[in-house]
Amino acid sequence: MDFLKGIADKAKEETGKIVSQIQHKRPPGSSTGEPAKEGERTYLIGGNWKCNGTTESLTALIKEFNELGPIPANVEVAICAPDIYIPLLGEKLRDDIAIGAQNCGVNEKQGAYTGEICADQLIDAGVVWVIIGHSERREGFVMAGEDEMLCAKKLKVALDKGLKVMFAIGEKKEEREAGTTMEVCAKQLAPAAELLNEEDWANVAIAYEPVWAIGTGLTATPEMAQETHASIREWVAEHVSADVAKAVRIQYGGSMKGANAKDLLAQPDIDGGLIGGASLKADFFNVINGAP
């Protein structure tokens, strides 16, 4: 058994070396501009590639992103790729864009969890950010959806292991029309508030994504989005702490693109975006450059 353990430890060590070598191959980025002023939040722009792309198409897209010029220093950028393409980001993506994943297993350790990828493995592959609670996973597609407590447990496991999390919440069209938007958001946030300690929130961004505006071309007006973001911040102040509410970044994710990013990001409680379709094209940089 000691012999087998020695082999396993050696394999893990070699894998770590390979991952490190891949990460060091990333081409240098060109972040520039003025950093966020003291007391202000840095904008967080996350790209969610969802279940899209091939090695060929994403290699071409990464090359395009690498050549699209500087990222303002007051903007943090991450791209969340399908797991199978995370190594591609690690090898080819400019190093001023963080690598992200779209899901993380609820299992705290490696083991007999067929089909899952745990937080340790994501970190080992160079992942910094992970999306948890996206509406498509909450709702389910053929498979059963993930309920509020499961999302909160996954959030806590990811944070405990050292990942940063974009925690997605949001209401459906009929819930918006019924005037229950904040009730829905509060229900999705409540288990997280129970499981997380105050320090955990330093590595959480709340991604408000109205389900009716994801991939539909519909977008909340800047005023509508601001109203909900302000209500979310008020809820955090009441149920977590005023300090966390002041510091936590709240992204908007509902068909944000270059054409509307500037107006949305100008709102006082919108601290970034979680971008779907536009993150698969050069327009992603128009969103990045839309930050004030």
Q: 10 Å Cβ neighbour count for 194?
A: 11
Q: Which residues are catalytic?
A: 134, 209
Q: What is the gyration radius of the CA atoms in the chain, in angstroms?
A: 19
Report which secondary-structure segment, H or E, holds 89: helix 86-92
Cβ pair 108, 160 in contact under 8 A: yes
- 135/228 Cα distance (integer angstroms): 17
Burial of 61 (0-12, 13-18, 19+ CB in 10 A): buried
SS3 category, 99: strand
Is the CB of residue 165 less than 8 Å from the CB of residue 155? yes
Q: Report d(CA 147, CA 276) in Å as an integer.
A: 22
249: left (phi over 0), alpha (psi -120 to 50) or beta: beta
Indicate the burial class of 152 (C-beta count within 10 angstroms; 0-12, 13-18, 19 or more): buried
Beta strands in 81-218, from DSSP E residues, in sequence order: 98-101, 129-132, 164-169, 204-208
User: Which residue spans within the chain are E strands per DSSP?
Assistant: 43-48, 75-80, 98-101, 129-132, 164-169, 204-208, 249-252, 272-275
